[in-house]
Amino acid sequence: MAKDNDSHFQPFILVGFSDRPQLEQALFAFVLVFYMLALVGNTAIILLSVLDARLHTPMYFFLGNLSFLDLCFTTSIVPQLLWNLWSPGKTITYHGCAAQLYIYMVLGSTECVLLAVMSYDRYVAVCRPLHYMVVMHPRLCLQLVSVAWCCGFLNSFIMCPQTMQLAWCGRRRVGHFLCEMPALIAMSCEDTMLVEAFAFALGVALLLVPLSLILASYGRIAAAVLRIQSAAGRTKAFSTCSSHLTVVLLFYGTIIYMYLQPANTYSQDQGKFLTLFYTVVTPSVNPLIYTLRNQDVKRAVRKLLAGRKGPGKPREGALE
């Protein structure tokens, strides 16, 4: 379908929660608080994994990458969302919308694959503990993270141009608070069956394939844990995996519901609140999930704080 270039590049209106003006102020405070938590928590994990030599292990290398992804993921969305919640103007330029969609899809797709990589790391740690550092050597860790990023960029470079080139026939109101692919496809006035088919195929590749690998890894882990004789050993093995499994359930549960349904069944209200959950809430609670029961991170925090206090008690004493 031919498009008029001048009209096609007009700004969009992000409807967001403007149909509930009484809710916008409460949401502004809610989003701001969780965004601050995400900034502080993820930045702290990145710094600790870099500064503390005892955290220079594959697990914390992947965790630092996850925190970096979460930090960028929520930052690509929340400032625009806060502006829209605070001000009456809800517009975003065409190129701003395209940039947000590209970045959002790169980071989200990369995180899907990275969580599968982290499940493999946990599988090696539990099922092959004596060979862990040999198998998960730095070169392999870097290669696995590179694969995750390449998958994210590939998905974005395939789907974003197809989405942004759709005909909207003068429709500029996006029924969402961000430029998200299902919302943009749903407002198109042309036949979107081919775009939806591509989106579904890539969704299966980037959601269900990594999820299948995660489930396979945890199936092997569960079998290995059941063979451990001591209760203390089983508890330790479970604690090394429970944090990652919780993050997987939070992230994949909402993402699969959002992206593996036809656009004609897309519910704007459900979509907005589910997207709010995995773009704002999940990145802020991930650091808490990984640190609440993690003694290594707690010791690293105490060491960092003891170092800032200057000479006094021996640093080793601060870690006991």
DSSP one-letter string for 236-267: HHHHHHHHHHHHHHHHHHHHHHHHSS-GGG--
Query: In the predicted model, what is the mean pLDDT of the chain?
Result: 82
Q: Which of 55-64, 149-158, 247-256, 280-289 has the lowest mean pLDDT?
A: 247-256
Residue 316 has which token pair?
Answer: 């080793």
Cα of 258 vs its chain's centroid, Å: 14
Residue 42 has which token pair?
Answer: 């993820």
Q: Residue 220 domain-assigned?
A: yes
Q: Which of 3-7, 41-45, 183-187 has the lowest mean pLDDT?
A: 3-7
What single letter denotes the amino acid at residue 224? A
Q: Are 178 and 107 in contact (CB under 8 A)?
A: no
Query: What average pLDDT does the segment 228-241 reach?
Result: 73
> What gap in Å lies between CA 87 and CA 78, rounded to an integer?
14
Q: Which of 44-48, 143-147, 272-276, 302-306 has the lowest mean pLDDT?
A: 302-306
Q: Residue 248 domain-assigned?
A: yes
What pLDDT shows up at residue 53?
Answer: 81
Residue % of the chain over a pLDDT of 70: 86
What is the number of other CB atoms lying within 10 angstroms of the CB of residue 207?
A: 20
The more confident residue out of 254 and 155 is 155
Q: Residue 3 domain-assigned?
A: no
pLDDT band, residue 320 (cuts 50/70/90): very low
The crossing angle, in degrees rounded to 10, of helices 282-291 and 21-51 is 40
Residue % of the chain over a pLDDT of 90: 29
Task: Say whether pLDDT at 218 is over 50.
Answer: yes
Task: Say whether pLDDT at 8 is over 80.
Answer: no
What is the DSSP code (8-state) at residue 57?
S
Q: Residue 225 domain-assigned?
A: yes
What pLDDT shows up at residue 260?
Answer: 65
What pLDDT shows up at residue 263?
Answer: 54
What is the number of other CB atoms lying within 10 angstroms of the CB of residue 58?
A: 22
Q: Measuring CA to CA, how many Å separate 313 from each of 48, 296, 301? A: 21, 20, 16
> What gap in Å lies between CA 196 and CA 304, rounded to an integer?
50
Query: The domain spanning residue 19 has which CATH number?
Result: 1.20.1070.10
Q: Residue 5 domain-assigned?
A: no
The more confident residue out of 242 and 158 is 158
Q: How far is it between the farthest Cα atoms of the chain?
A: 74
Domain of 88, in residue numbers: 10-319
Question: What 3-state DSSP class applies to 71?
Answer: helix
Q: Give the count of domains, the chain.
A: 1
Task: Say whether pLDDT at 293 is over 90.
Answer: no
What single letter denotes the amino acid at residue 54? R
The more confident residue out of 120 and 295 is 120
The more confident residue out of 271 and 86 is 86
Question: What 3-state DSSP class applies to 76?
Answer: coil
Q: Are 228 and 237 in contact (CB under 8 A)?
A: yes
Q: Are 49 and 55 in contact (CB under 8 A)?
A: yes
Task: Say whether pLDDT at 316 is over 60.
Answer: no
Helix (H) or strand (E) holding 173: strand 173-174
Query: What average pLDDT does the segment 118-138 reach?
Result: 90
